[in-house]
Amino acid sequence: MESIIVEIRAGAGGKEAGLFVSDLFRMYSKYAQRQGWGQKILNSHSTELGGFKEIVFELKNDDVFSKIKYEGGVHRVQRIPTTEKSGRIHTSTSSVAILPKPKGTEIKIDPRDIKTDFYKSSGAGGQYVNKRMTAVRLTHLPSGIVVTSQTERNLAQNRENAMAILEAKLLEKKEMAEFEKLSKERKAQIGWAKRAEKIRTYNFPQDRITDHRIKKSWHDIEGIMDGKLDKIVGTLQKLL
């Protein structure tokens, strides 16, 4: 059974971007439930309005990577935020990273290469949720990659979650380094979902979702945001 780690981060757009992260997380969660996939939240930082600055979660099943791998990139939303008094349409963005979870022998980390810090987990607005030091920050010294986990009440579990994120990020770094060595022609054949590449726009006033890579749009935005992703996933699998 394979696993992937999905990382959704708020981009441009302030509080509205955080709400969009929450919407995307709900969309993928509902889709995962419909597919019968296992799901586990590894880390999250919530905002005061009920959104997320970032959320990191694991999805597990035999076909999970083949269906979700095309979701990596920048997602853009156009809508009137609930906080908007004058009815103006705002544009916000969130970035999605899809990280395959390494198999047993793919990534080996020397424990001496990791600096571990413990701190109190915080909630929306920065207030401390937990009085005990259960949140974990891992710094991988050779690469400078820093990961955190604070979703569990248990220190050991948070450390395990943080290690899972770190291993996936190190595998991505290794694959990117190998990808950079390839010729331009080979790169074009393989493609690589760049985190900075704008892949999709969710236009609520026009009830339309557009994928810019294949120049195709779908309607029923509410249904899609409720996890009915089959049409989009199926089309991307055929065309990309």
Query: Mind listing the pLDDT tens digit for each residue in 197-218?
Result: 899 999 999 999 999 999 999 9
Lowest mean pLDDT, pick from 48-52, 126-130, 161-165 = 126-130
Query: pLDDT: is 214 or 103 the higher one?
Result: 214
CATH code of the domain containing 147: 3.30.160.20
Which residue range(s) make up the domain with 38? 2-101+191-239
Asked if the structure places residue 186 within a domain, the reply is no
Q: Which pairs with CB-CB distance under 8 Å and at least 24 residues apart come from 189-194? A: 191/240, 193/69, 193/70, 193/71, 193/72, 193/73, 193/98, 194/72, 194/73
162 and 202 housed in the same domain: no
The pLDDT tens digits of the residues spanning 150-191 come to 988 889 999 999 999 999 999 999 988 887 887 777 666 555
Q: pLDDT tens digits for 211-240?
A: 999 999 999 999 999 999 999 999 999 998
Rounded distance, CA 192 to CA 222, Å? 29
pTM: 0.88
Nearest residue to 167 (alpha-carbon basis) of 193, 149, 182, 187? 149
Find the farthest-apart pair of alpha carbons in the chain and give their distance in angstroms, rounded: 56
